[in-house]
Structure 1
Amino acid sequence: MSKLLHVSTSPHVLSKDSTHSIMLDVVLALIPAAAWGVYMFGYRAAIILALSMISAVACEYIWQKCMHLPITVNDYSALVTGLLLGMNLPSTVPYWLPVVGSAFAIIIVKQLFGGIGQNFMNPALAGRCFLLIAFAGLMTNFPSVDAVSTATPLAVLKNGGTQSLSDMFFGFTSGTIGEVSALLLLAGGIYLLVKKVITWEIPVIYIGVFAVFMILFGGHGFDVNYVLCEICGGGLMLGAFFMATDYVSSPITFKGRVVFAVCLGLLTGLIRVFSKSAEGVSYAIIFCNLLVPLIEKVTLPKAFGREGK
């Protein structure tokens, strides 16, 4: 009988996936867009990405060592946080800025709340928003393809100008290091979908709801070129595929992910259309991260036999 029955705690169905393998897939998916940013903005972009990743890993290691906690830097989660943060920075920032941002993301947002699996919002975006608030001037100085400081494509659109959709799609525009090429970010997102690291609900519904919002309230009507430019710019692709889908800070149920994605699309549209900011993705995601407990309270299915109809 002991050979027939095996009693153990959950989970009862195991997977070959691990935090290490999942984070490695995310890194692989981000490499093309990050490499393009280095190609476009030069050696400074490479240094900023390296500093961001190294400082994120170092902060996690030092904190866990000082607090006598298990060392988890080999799961690559800190590396992904550092890479995402670096990709969300302009290549013009001073070299100390990614170090400060990584320290905030890892220590304040991640480790102080219990480490991996316990953070209440995406650490990389929290670090970026902290830097935007604390060092707004440094964080909004964007270089163009000729290394001259210029406005982002979305800022130009918001002020009534026009932008080349092909330049925004392929990545020949100003912006942060990792957001300029919508094509490579889309390719990375598709890779994660094929590998089943993420599911389709959040990125597809997020982008779809945002597109509908911009058609209705963007002031340009059903202008396909305008709507596609809005989708390709401002880190929407980066946020939709790589940060809004964060396992810890997004809902776990299908219904919850749908509600979450709808909220993201609406809030991003509200910020872009009705505020002075031309971006909105970062603030939309971290605000909706705070709504996740409420979303799951409503959408989480009840246990069988408990409060059922």
Structure 2
Amino acid sequence: MSPREAPDDRLQQAMKQVLLATLPGLLGLFWLYGWGVLINLALAVTTALVVEAGVTRLRRQPLQPTLSDGSALVSATLLAVALPPYCPWWLTVTAIATGLLFGKHLYGGIGKNPFNPAMLGFALAMVLFPQPMTHWPAHGMNLLAAFEHVFNMGQAPDAWAQATALDSLRINKSLTMDELFAANPAFGRFGGRGVEWVNLAFLAGGLLLLQRRVIGWQAPVGMLVSLFVVSLLCWNGSGSDSQGSPLFHLLSGATMLGAFFIITEPVSGAKSPLARLLFGIGVGLLTYLIRTWGGYPDGVAFAVLLMNLCVPALERIAAGRQTQVTP
């Protein structure tokens, strides 16, 4: 293997390990929501490959290196699991196409993008299509019903969709936390019903990436610790004005997916250890602020994009700190 091929080979191996580490979370989502998760994934992966091939052809570059590096598959997988299962097919296609085009290829392709492509696609879909982006299923469907719903060939069953635990908590004005957990089927024991187990599944996959040294510990630890601390400081027990316990925030929404698979993206994220730690801390704080006082129930995507803008400043801070420490 030549020196020119070595970085591509390392990238391909890293992407394969990231995809492998998503399997526990994917299985957890399939157990919770059913076939819609796999349909989302198939649509996202197909769209990603078509977009990658189309852009590569327009640039008159060889297809094989671009399609085989695995970066588009990782972006498609992460975006697919972040989207609501059973969302319309055009929403998944639009989200992954815009994420790759405006978050990656507009800047020259992999290695040059300042924003996380998956989160940019998710944020654009949330802003442009807020209604279907908030239709999370209360239960799964069989395969035929799932296809009919995703491709607009049939009507969804009654009481099919419900507000998520994060959304229910954000709009709650009168119920105590104990009453909210007891009365609302979206709540489980500690976080969102079933979602708490999905978060633990993504945590298991993230720990595998840490054990194999595919990712560093700084960004995940920074995000999870800052989210825990700020939610603990703002926690008001079981009162009706409570914003949720630290455990609720750690086990709800896309917390573990964001901590181990999103903010560890090597291109748009920070590079040096201290900058990665500061990046994770910023994402954790912004996630809590958006969840609690923002207009969206889960703030991971917007928090990541805002912190992407801060990466150059974080790197300068880290470099200055290193210069002070080094004699």
TM beyond 0.5 = yes
- Map of 1:106 onto structure 2: 100
Q: Give the aligned residue type for 2:34.
A: G
Aligned equivalents of 1:105, 1:56: Cα separation in 2: 9
Q: Distance in 1 between matches of 2:299 and 2:36?
A: 25
Deviates more, 1:242-251 or 1:68-77: 68-77
1:61 equivalent in alignment to 2:53: yes
Alignment correspondent of 2:292: 273
Once the two structures are superposed, residues 179-217 of structure 1 have per-residue CA deviations (whole angstroms, 9 ceiling, x without a partner) of 860111010000100110111111112111111101112
Q: Is the 8 A contact 1:239 1:281 kept in 2?
A: yes
- The aligned residue for residue 253 of structure 1 is 272
Distance (Å, rounded) in 1 between the aligned partners of 2:26 and 2:221: 22
Counterpart pick for 1:127 among 117, 121, 124: 121
- Contact kept, 8 Å, 2:227 with 2:249, in 1: the verdict is no
Q: 1:166 to 1:228 in 2, by over 3 A?
A: closer
SS class of match (1:103)? helix
Counterpart for residue 183 of structure 1: 200
Q: How does 1:17-28 map to 2 (within 5 A)?
A: 18-28=10-20
Unaligned regions of 5+ residues in structure 1, if any? 1-8, 174-178
Does the residue aligned with 2:13 lie in a helix, a strand or coil? helix
The answer on 1:172 being equivalent to 2:166 is: no
**Is 1:296 the equivalent of 2:315?**
yes
What residue in structure 2 maps to residue 219 of structure 1?
236
Deviation at 1:230, TM superposition (A): 1.2
Give the structure 2 partner of residue 6 of structure 1: none
The residue aligned with 2:80 is: 86
Give the TM-score normalised by structure 1. Answer: 0.85
Assess, with a 3 A threshold, how the Cα gap between structure 1 residues 47 and 15 changes in structure 2: closer, same or farther: closer
Q: Does 1:156 align with 2:158?
A: no
CA contact (8 A) 2:37 2:85 kept: yes
- Closer/same/farther in 2, CA of residues 20 and 296 from structure 1, 3 Å limit: same
What whole-Å deviation, never above 9, does each CA across 1:217-262 have from its counterpart, x for those lacking one?
24339x9x82211111110110011000110111111111121122
Segments of 5+ residues of structure 2 without an aligned counterpart are 142-159, 182-186
TM normalised by structure 2 equals 0.81
Letter in structure 1 aligned against 2:188: S
Question: How many pairs were matched up?
Answer: 287
Whether 1:195 aligns to 2:212 is: yes
Q: 3-state SS of the aligned residue for 2:22? A: helix
Cα distance in structure 2, aligned partners of 1:85 and 1:146: 19
User: Is contact 1:217-1:273 (8 Å) kept?
Assistant: no
CA RMSD of aligned residues (A): 2.7
Deviation at 1:156, TM superposition (A): 2.4
Cα gap change, 1:184/1:302 in structure 2, threshold over 3 Å: closer, same or farther?
A: closer
Q: Is the CA contact 1:165–1:228 (under 8 Å) kept in the aligned structure 2?
A: no
Residues 1:37 and 2:29 are matched in the alignment:
yes
Residues 1:97 and 2:91 aligned together = yes
Find out whether 1:51 has 2:16 as its counterpart.
Answer: no
Shift of 1:106: 1.3
Quote how far apart the aligned CAs of 1:17 are: 6.4
Relative to structure 1, the CA distance from residue 54 to residue 256 in structure 2 (aligned partners, 3 Å threshold; closer, same or farther) is same
CA distance in 1, matches of 2:7, 2:40: 36
